[in-house]
Structure 1
């Protein structure tokens, strides 16, 4: 069978960056850069002319920014777009906005707009282009109603490790490519009085997970925060693993979080496998493990470990709603997934399991 060649359009206002990205991508035998564009307006014209399979798009450009162009692309010529973002707080916000607008993924420029060290993310860029070509585009999510910050937050419920009638539980969620939008869909539907804490691993670099947690907090009845060393895991609260840190779960009288800089696991830090393995060592606690859209297999080894060591119920996002059916596919292949659910039903399943 003939290998499919992926046609890519590279969009950046810097001629140097266009050249660099083009050179990196062209090194892969399955990728052909069919053109470049210097701004969003130019990109739209080139898309109509060249009909690429994937677009890499800088966020900050004159004439028409990457975000403005992305909105038009998704309306007029929907196709997979990977955004190139800076490491600033505004860059993180823009990357999350891009996910809302329909971008498949993003790459962080290591040192700003003109990154002489872009080679540091070369392999990541190539892999994301390859996976983007196979991604399933999803229509923009309907924004959930923003919660009333004055009335919706409840007093935290603290549980101890006696567990009485075995009512302590923890919800573990792992995701990657397409995850920010998937998390928005699921977390926004969970009730503020959820009888469990939620621990989230989303593959993201430092700084971006803080913006993600703030955004989720605004959209959810849960209290959502970026996890910190020593956090007590409270019911009705969600904790997002910070970029470049693994999350350990520990229990004494209370369930708490500790952060680790141990080496990447399954190619990631934070890692879903690491979180699941940590949770597998907790005694007397029910675990609800959820694996959603993402490339690779992070989470499947941890799911095996969870299943060997205690009470666990697992949910995998169905292929039909995944942007990239990689992590859920690997989880299903273990034969240990309890439920396979479309994205819009995952929150309902979590609530039923937590109440059961």
Structure 2
């Protein structure tokens, strides 16, 4: 059976080109297109798609409002097709937080040529989205942005607490990770150990993603730079397009951010982070592998376990895509397999 796709975009060129690209694949069928969400809802009353390819900025109803509506009414895998402009970056992150599975980034100019050049990527993205378990997402995964807790709930500056910097939490995630990380990080107090995160995400997205999380979490969340200290109450997110490692500097742990070739098809790579933690942090670390497509992080988690670290995998029932955790479990690299809502407590 083919994957039935509905394309929703106000650009006739985009609708035409995406339909042509997807219909080239034998296992994908674009059964209809719509110029905005209002038209799309009418078409979906007659036939509900397996996948929706969705623009964000459209007339009558914006894509994020439409996305939230269908995620509440009838959760369906959605792939965002959006620009990487600064405004588009924020909107795309909001779409991921609202339940979108993945993003196809398109330029402001030369869209037709870009889409044609990215044919295989677009087909691959739609196939992966079809495997997503979006029904696991409950209200807390699509809630609106909250405010940061009152100042009295936030501890004083912790940079001088060198004796507490010997614990490191390393987290790796991909598809579905934007929502999952929000669930975990918003539940953590400022007294939690320092955290280093790899979320598979393009350049320009990670800074906006970190800023968004920082605005709703009690802990500090920032995009990592080389030399950043890993301290209690702080989460450091690897920049898109760069790897991140953890290194020891005297009694402290710091990050090293650097450019390099993709590992397991990803940059940043979870394996790169986990292997560095296995080498430098050893038994003082906890490794957590969460929802995501593929096997990035499985070997690195095994290295952490062999070095004495505690290792955790998100369970299948709460994963959007049970790929990365499954591969780590198959390797015997996981000490605990737990649901998403238990991970913050475990940390």
Deviation larger for 124-133 or 49-58: 124-133
1:325 partnered with 2:322: yes
Moved more, 39-48 or 315-324: 39-48
- C-alpha deviation, 1:120, in angstroms: 4.7
Give matches, 1:70-149, under 5 Å.
Answer: 70-111=67-108, 114=111, 116-137=113-134, 138-141=137-140, 142=143, 146-148=147-149
1: distance between equivalents of 2:39 and 2:68? 14
Q: Distance in 2 between matches of 1:144 and 1:332?
A: 33
Structure with greater helix share of residues? 2
| Displacement after TM superposition at 1:306 (Å) | 2.0
Instruction: Please give the residue correspondences for 1:35-74 in structure 2 after superposition, counting only pairs within 5 Å.
Output: 35-74=32-71
Structure 2 SS opposite 1:263: coil
Q: Indicate which of 238, 242, 257 corresponds to 1:241.
A: 238
Q: Quick one: structure 1 residues 14 and 296, their matched pair in 2 at CA, closer, same or farther if it must change by over 3 Å?
A: same
Matched-pair contact (CA < 8 Å) for 2:17–2:112: no
Is 1:18 matched up with 2:15?
A: yes
Q: Does 1:6 find its partner at 2:7?
A: no
**Superposed counterparts of 1:145-184, under 5 Å:** 146-148=147-149, 150-151=151-152, 152-158=154-160, 168-184=166-182
Deviation at 1:144, TM superposition (A): 8.1
For residue 341 of structure 1, the aligned residue among 331, 338, 346 is 338
Q: What's the secondary structure of 1:256's corresponding residue? A: strand
Contact 2:101–2:176 (CA under 8 A) maintained in structure 1: yes
Instruction: Say whether the 8 Å CA contact 2:214–2:221 is kept in structure 1.
Output: yes
TM-score normalised per structure 1: 0.90
User: What is the RMSD of the two structures over their aligned residues, measured on CA atoms?
Assistant: 2.1
Q: State the number of aligned residues.
A: 341
Equivalent position SS for 1:116: helix
User: How does the TM-score come out when normalised to structure 2?
Assistant: 0.92
Q: How much has 1:269 moved relative to structure 2?
A: 0.5
* Gap runs ≥5 in structure 1: 351-356
Provide the rounded CA distance (Å) in 2 between the counterparts of 1:280 and 1:320: 28
